[in-house]
Amino acid sequence: MLRVGITGGIGAGKTTVCNIFRALGISVYDADQRAKKMMAEDHELRNQLILQFGTSTFLEDGKLNRKYLAEKVFTNEDDLNRLNQLVHPFVLKDYKSWLQNIPDAPYSIREAAILLESGTYKDLDVIIVVDSPMDLRIKRVIQRDKRTESEVLSIISKQWSMEKKQKFASFIIQNNEKQFLIPQVLHFHQLLKSQSEQNESA
């Protein structure tokens, strides 16, 4: 089974693209959602987060204080790096376990915002970058997350530029509201199936 990674800057449309792949019967591991789940539920990770970022990391009801943590890491690059270094080993272990339990298919997908920045792309066979114009990305995130433009730009500044991401891409999907997404996904779906078949027969 080919291991495919999908990434792109915030607001590029990774989730929309992954939902199309899901509709084609492909299993998708959402690394960002799994990370949030583990930060909330894994006792070892919770304890490490409290040690690093203080008791305010969790609310009185035990839930992750996402607002507090986001304010910490998106205003301090060292804190962001510390958070990533804490969480990524847990996510990687979870991903490997997930791979063992998904239905057999030509390929599977790992979706992550910082797939490249974290270095976890190195264990994957194919990288797909979802590209989108900056103005559209900002507009989408403001509407989706109810953030201000300055907050969105601050998050974008912490991620690699699209130009840098594209250098690592096996394929690029354009989500610019000019080119239809579904035909692009179908095209790459067929390419990935063919590549998987070639690997198996080699």
Taking only the tens place, the pLDDT of each residue in 99-112 is 999 999 999 999 99
Global pTM reads 0.91
CATH topology for 1-27+107-197 is Rossmann fold (3.40.50)
Q: Are 112 and 9 in contact (CB under 8 A)?
A: no
Q: Are 9 and 165 in contact (CB under 8 A)?
A: yes
Same fold, 1-27+107-197 and 33-101: yes
Domain boundaries, the chain: 1-27+107-197, 33-101
CA distance 184 to 187: 5
Taking only the tens place, the pLDDT of each residue in 79-106 is 988 999 999 999 999 999 999 999 999 9
**What is the architecture, at CATH level 2, of domain 33-101?**
3-Layer(aba) Sandwich (3.40)
Count of all residues that appear for the chain in the document: 202
Taking only the tens place, the pLDDT of each residue in 25-74 is 999 999 999 999 999 899 999 999 999 999 999 998 888 998 899 888 87
